[in-house]
Amino acid sequence: MDDIYDYPLYRPPSEAYSLILQITLGCSHNKCTFCKMYKGKKFTIKPFEQIKEEIDIFRKEIRYAEKIFLADGDALIIPTPRLLEILDYINEKFPERERISLYASPKSILFKTPEELKAIREKGVSLVYIGLESGDNEVLKEIKKGVTSEKIVEASLKAKEAGFMLSMTVIAGVLGDRDYTNHALKTAEVVNKIVPDYLSVLCLVVHDGTEIYDRVLRGEFREAKGEDILKEIRMMIENINIPEGKKVIFRSNHASNYLGLKGDFPEDKEKFLSEINFVINNDYIRERNDRYLRY
Ligand code: SF4
C-alpha cells in the first residue's frame, strides 16, 4: 500500500493511527519561509478516478478505519461539488468511520459559502487543522503566510459556525532572537477571539531548503535560545484568557518543544505557568532531539 503515497507525507501527530487518503498533493500556498513540507511538490488535486481506485485498494487491505485524514496540505481547497463526491465515496466504502479531518488554509475556508461548509461537515468532516503561526500581522508578513490575522479569525469563526472542530498551531521562536512581545501578545489575543477546540505550540525548527535557513546562513537570522522560547510561550499563556464554561485542549509536546505541556484552558493555566517557571528557574531546559526534528 505504501507505493500509493507520494512522499513526503505529513499528518498531525493526533492522526498517527488514522487512515491517510492523499487526495491532493502539496500545498496550494507553499510559500511560508519556515516550511519545507511540500517544497518539492507541485500542488495538484488528484483525478477523481485515481482517488476512487486508491480508496478501493485501502478498503481491501484495511478492516476498520475509525479516523480518516485527508492529505496533503490543503484538501479543503478542492471545489465543493468534487469534494462532496469524494466524501460520498469515502462514506460508502468506510461506513464505520467516525471522523474525517484535514488541513485547511484560511483562504480555502473563506472561498466556501457557509452552505458549502455545512454540506462538507454533514458528509463527516468534523475536524480541521489550521496553522495560525502568529496573531501579529508583521510576523505573518515576514513569514509569508499570505493571510492576515483578521482573515484567520474570520475563517476560523466561519468554520466553527459551520460545526467544525478547530485544531490550531502557533509557532514560538519564529522571530529568532528578536523581541517576541508583539508576537506573543497578539497571538494570545487571536486565540482568545477564536477559542479553538485544540491549541498546539510548536517551536521553530530551521530546516535546510527554507528561506529562514538561507537567512541563517547569511547571518540575518539567529535562532532563539530555549530559555527565551519558554519565556515567549509563558507570555502567550499568561495572556490566553478562555472564559469559564469553554475549553481549549492545549498541547506543547511536539518534538520541537523544549518543555512538554499538556492540559486544558482555562483550568490548567496556572499549572502551565508554574511548570514553565520551575524549568526556567532550575535550569532544567531540555535539549531537543535532532533525530525527531529532521524531515
Ligand atoms: S506552513 Fe502550511 S500553508 Fe505554509 S507552506 Fe507549509 S503547508 Fe503551506
Please state, rounded to an integer, the average pLDDT across all residues of the chain.
95
Q: Per residue in 219-237, pLDDT tens?
A: 999 999 999 999 999 999 9
Would you state the pLDDT for residue 295? 46
pLDDT tens digits for range 113-134: 999 999 999 999 999 999 999 9
Residue ID of nearest Cα to ligand 1 atom 4 = 32
Q: What pLDDT does residue 253 have? A: 80
pLDDT band of 45, cuts 50, 70, 90: very high
Q: What pTM was computed for the model?
A: 0.95
CB 36, CB 214: distance < 8 Å: no
What one-character DSSP code corresponds to residue 151?
Answer: H
- Structural domains of the chain ordered from first start: 2-293 (3.80.30.20)
Does residue 6 carry a pLDDT above 90? Answer: yes
Does ligand 1 come within 6 angstroms of the Cβ of 26?
no
Q: Is the CB of 27 under 6 A from ligand 1?
A: yes
Grid coordinates belonging to 6: 507520494
Residue 111: name the closest of 137, 76, 87, 86 by CA. 76
Please, are residues 211 and 217 in contact by the beta-carbon 8 Å criterion?
A: no
Task: Report the helix count and the strand count for the chain, using DSSP H and E.
Answer: 11, 10
Provide CB contacts within 8 A for 64, sequence distance 6+. Answer: 96
Q: Is the pLDDT of residue 289 over 70?
A: no
Confidence (pLDDT) at 292: 60
Ligand 1 pocket, residue 37 CB under 6 Å: yes
DSSP code string of 113-138: -HHHHHHHHHTTEEEEEEEEE-S-HH
Could you give the count of Cα atoms lying within 13 Å of 21 in the half-sphere of its Cβ? 33
Which strands, in side-by-side order, build the sheet including 99-103?
19-22, 67-71, 99-103, 125-133, 165-172, 198-203, 248-251, 262-265
For the segment 176-200, the average pLDDT, to the nearest whole number, is 98
C-alpha of residue 71 to centroid of ligand 1, in Å: 13
pLDDT of residue 291: 57
**pLDDT grade for 12, boundaries at 50, 70 and 90:** very high
269 lines ligand 1 (CB under 6 A): no
Q: What is the pLDDT of residues 50-104, one digit of tens each?
A: 999 999 999 999 999 999 999 999 999 999 999 999 999 999 999 999 999 999 9
